[in-house]
Structure 1
Amino acid sequence: MRISLLDRTRTRLGESDGDAVAGTIHRAARAERLGLHRFWVAEHHSVPGIASASPTVLLAAIGARTRTIRVGTGGVMLPNHNPLVVAEQLRLLEALYPRRVDVGIGASLAFKSSIRRALGHTTLDPAEHASAVERLRSYLYGGPDDDVVARPQVAPPPMFLLAIKDGLGLAARLGLPAVIGGPLLRDTAATDAYFRDFSPSPAVPEPYLVASVDIAVADSADRARELLLPEIWALASSRETGGFTALRPVDDVRRLLDTATPKVRAAVDRGYDSVIAGTAGQVVAEVAALTARTGAAEVMATTSTFDRDELAEADEALAALQNGR
């Protein structure tokens, strides 16, 4: 089983945004030393809890600090960008770091309506998005428009679709590898249809699924769940406050939970339904069940912890699972 990391450049209470960016770059170098398969970075705009809005720029720095690990965008949110410009940026990264760059493409709009307005897209048009994905694929892999050629001319980096809602159908129709998370991890009808309806091409002859999920490995299941609590709290409380905030220490979160509304406490409880947390043996069993259910050939851990030393230990534990130790 291939295990990869998606790092969202999460901020921590008491740290600067610059510290968060440096932490992501340091983590990428560690992931390479550990032998993990990929290291991807995300795009989020005007979010206090996330320091990076430009995955392609961040990848340039990560590529310079690594030598062998695959690096990618997880993802570029295509509604915010021109497909030709995205193709040019990723082709340039491929020229800098040959045979290591992945193009992960998403369609999520911004966290708040004010940010969506600032970016110029308040709603997502599925047909328009599908057209943009097709144009990007054409610029990367070559297509009928000979008058517009994305440069530099290098071997095209592989393209992945971050599937939400009916996104797996688009990935199957266009013959693209896909990344699934959240409700799609349990939607066997959607994943079965992806494999059944996949349209092969010379560039992508077979379907390929990556399962994205928060994973924590520790000496006990309770400790593993505790590691994920700050991230689960940030998401649960954001639904009430409207702000996705910096990670806080576990003890702080426990105190906040004591006075939280029933709605937020229930959201925290539900948050644990979509993660994998436990001892090494428990995590191996849950990952095996996940890949059997979805058909995924790879797991991408989206783990964030408040304590960076604990995050390093979590990454080391994942690498040990990948390497059968």
Structure 2
Amino acid sequence: MRLSLLDRSRTRAGEPDSAALRHTVERAQRAEELGYHRFWVAEHHAVPGIASGSPAVLMAAVAAATSRIRVGSGGIMLPNHQPMVVAEQVGVLAALHPGRIDVGVGRSLGFTAPVRHALRTDGADTFREDLDELRAYLDGTAPVTARPRLDAPVPLFVLATGKGLAVAGDLGLPVVVGGPVLDDTPAGAAALADYRDRAGDRACIVVSLDVLVGDPELALPEAWALAAARSTGEFPPLEPPDPDRPLSTRQRTTMEGAPRRTIVGDQETVATRLDALLTRTGADELLVSSSTFDRAALAESDARLAALLS
């Protein structure tokens, strides 16, 4: 089972955004030492709790600070970019760091109307066409040649839910799945089975979720951020866990439901839950997307998880 990390460059209360970006690079260096397979970064725009808005730039910083671990995007959101520009960025990275670059792409738009306007996205769903175009640039079959030309293929992944799974399956591309698709429900099982049927022998499933090895309170900062976002519409920086924080009814409901898609606890608890998840989904790889306020505790969790799955 390949084990990888997705770091969203989560900001923390009382710190500048730049601290989150530096921590991402430092975490990648530790992940390489621990034997993780990939280290991916994210794309979010105008979100107070996330500092990573330019995955290609952050990928360059991570790749330059490491030497072996694969570096990629989880993901580049195609509605925000011209496919040729993405191909050119990926080409530069692959030329400078041969054999180490991945590109994961998604279809999410900006969260609010002002952000979508700032990104010049019109809301039209051209994901399938954009994905086809990007793949043509990457494999050298497009009418225009993106430079630099790739010396070797760059793995292309689709961050997929619902319709995206079918698109990835039809194109025979690997998928990164999270959220409701991973629930132990007939709908989740059917979605993964449909993807496998469409992709055939090219099927590859990467499951992505929060996994923390340690005190269950480590999950509270993310749960609180989600609860706050549901109340205010703005995803905030991480704050220290506070079990006694006063909560509205809606916030309490959100926080109580958040752990359902987070695997947290001691090594035995985590191992048991991961085994059930990976067996049920038939996953080829685990992409851990967890974060918490305490950076030392997060580093310890990364190390304990690597030891658990080694």
Same fold (TM over 0.5): yes
1:194 and 1:55 mapped to 2: Cα distance? 27
Per-residue deviation, 1:113? 2.0
Per-residue deviation, 1:124? 4.7
Matched residues, number: 305
> Secondary structure of the equivalent of 1:210?
strand
> After superposition, what is the alpha-carbon deviation per residue over 1:265-316, rounded to whole angstroms, capped at 9, x for unaligned?
1011111111111211121121111112112111111110101101100110
Stretch of structure 1 that moved more, 62-71 or 150-159 = 150-159
* Aligned partner of 1:288 among 249, 261, 275: 275
- 8 Å CA contact retained: 2:162, 2:191: no
Q: Which residue of 2 aligns with 1:134?
A: 132
Please say if 1:241 is aligned against 2:232.
Answer: yes
Q: Which residue of 2 aligns with 1:173?
A: 170
Please say if 1:160 is aligned against 2:147.
Answer: no
- 8 Å CA contact retained: 1:209, 1:297: yes
- 8 Å CA contact retained: 2:169, 2:199: yes
What does 1:109-124 align with in structure 2 at a 5 Å threshold? 109-124=109-124
What does 1:180-259 align with in structure 2 at a 5 Å threshold? 180-186=177-183, 187-198=188-199, 206-218=202-214, 223=215, 225-251=216-242, 254-256=243-245, 258=246
Q: CA RMSD in A?
A: 1.2
- The residue type paired with residue 16 of structure 2 is S
2:98 and 2:237 mapped to 1: Cα distance? 35
> Secondary structure of the equivalent of 2:202?
coil
- 8 Å CA contact retained: 2:137, 2:145: yes
Task: Point out where structure 1 has 5 or more consecutive residues left out of the alignment.
Answer: 200-204
Per-residue deviation, 1:15? 1.0
> Secondary structure of the equivalent of 1:76?
strand
Per-residue deviation, 1:139? 0.6
1:39 and 1:19 mapped to 2: Cα distance? 18
- The residue type paired with residue 234 of structure 1 is A
2:139 and 2:205 mapped to 1: Cα distance? 20
Q: Which residue of 1 aligns with 2:37?
A: 37
What does 1:70-89 align with in structure 2 at a 5 Å threshold? 70-89=70-89
> After superposition, what is the alpha-carbon deviation per residue over 1:167-197, rounded to whole angstroms, capped at 9, x for unaligned?
1100000110000000111200010111111
1:122 and 1:275 mapped to 2: Cα distance? 34
1:25 and 1:286 mapped to 2: Cα distance? 29
Q: Which residue of 2 aligns with 1:202?
A: none
> Secondary structure of the equivalent of 2:102?
strand
Please say if 1:25 is aligned against 2:25.
Answer: yes
- Percent of aligned positions with the same letter in both sequences? 50
2:41 and 2:146 mapped to 1: Cα distance? 23
Task: Point out where structure 2 has 5 or more consecutive residues left out of the alignment.
Answer: none
Per-residue deviation, 1:82? 0.1
Per-residue deviation, 1:26? 0.4
- 8 Å CA contact retained: 1:63, 1:97: yes
> After superposition, what is the alpha-carbon deviation per residue over 1:125-170, rounded to whole angstroms, capped at 9, x for unaligned?
1xx1110001001111132x34x01111121210000002221100
Stretch of structure 1 that moved more, 283-292 or 56-65 = 283-292
1:141 and 1:207 mapped to 2: Cα distance? 19
What does 1:84-103 align with in structure 2 at a 5 Å threshold? 84-103=84-103
> Secondary structure of the equivalent of 1:211?
strand
- 8 Å CA contact retained: 1:113, 1:122: no
> Secondary structure of the equivalent of 1:101?
coil
2:83 and 2:42 mapped to 1: Cα distance? 17
- The residue type paired with residue 302 of structure 2 is D
2:53 and 2:244 mapped to 1: Cα distance? 31
1:45 and 1:68 mapped to 2: Cα distance? 29
User: TM-score normalised to the size of structure 2?
Assistant: 0.96
Q: Which residue of 2 aligns with 1:315?
A: 302
Per-residue deviation, 1:322? 1.8
- The residue type paired with residue 231 of structure 1 is E
